[in-house]
Amino acid sequence: MNPKYIITIIALCLSACSVLQPFKVFNTETKERSKNPENAIEYVCENNKHFFVRMLNKGADAWLIFPDHEVNLAQSTTEKNRYVSGSITLVISGEQSTLTDGDVLAYTGCKAQPLNKS
C-alpha cells in the first residue's frame, strides 16, 4: 500500500477522534434546580439536612427528590407511614420523620415545612 494513503488514513482517523465525544450515561454537570419542586413538601432535618417528597398514586408512592437525583419509594404493605426502595427507607410520622439508606445516609428529626403559596 502506498505510504501516502496510510498517512492520509491516519490523519483522517485522528481528526475524527477530536470531533467525537464519548457518550455519557450520567450527566455530570450540575444544574441549579428551583428551590421548591412543584407539589413537593420540604423536610428539614438535624444538621440542616433537607430533602423533598412528592406523594403520588393517592399516597401509595413517595417520590424522594434531592438536588442531584430522584427516586420512587413504594408504600410498605405492613406500615402505611413507611416507604421503601431497596435499602432506602422513609418513615413519615409527624414530628420525627426519618430517611435512611443503609449505612450511607441517615436523616433524623425531619420536620415537614409549610408549603409557600406564592
pTM value is 0.66
pLDDT tens digit at each of 118 positions of the chain: 665 555 555 554 444 444 444 433 334 444 444 567 889 999 999 999 999 999 999 999 999 998 889 999 999 999 999 999 999 999 998 778 999 998 888 999 999 998 765 5
For the chain, domain boundaries: 41-112
For the chain, the three-class secondary structure string (H helix, E strand, C coil) is CCHHHHHHHHHHHHHHHHHCCCCCCCCCCCCCCCCCCCCCEEEECHHHCEEEEEEEHHHCEEEEECCCCEEEEEECCCCCCEEEECCEEEECCHHHEEEEECCCEEEEEEEECCCCCC
What is 41-112's CATH topology?
Lipocalin (2.40.128)
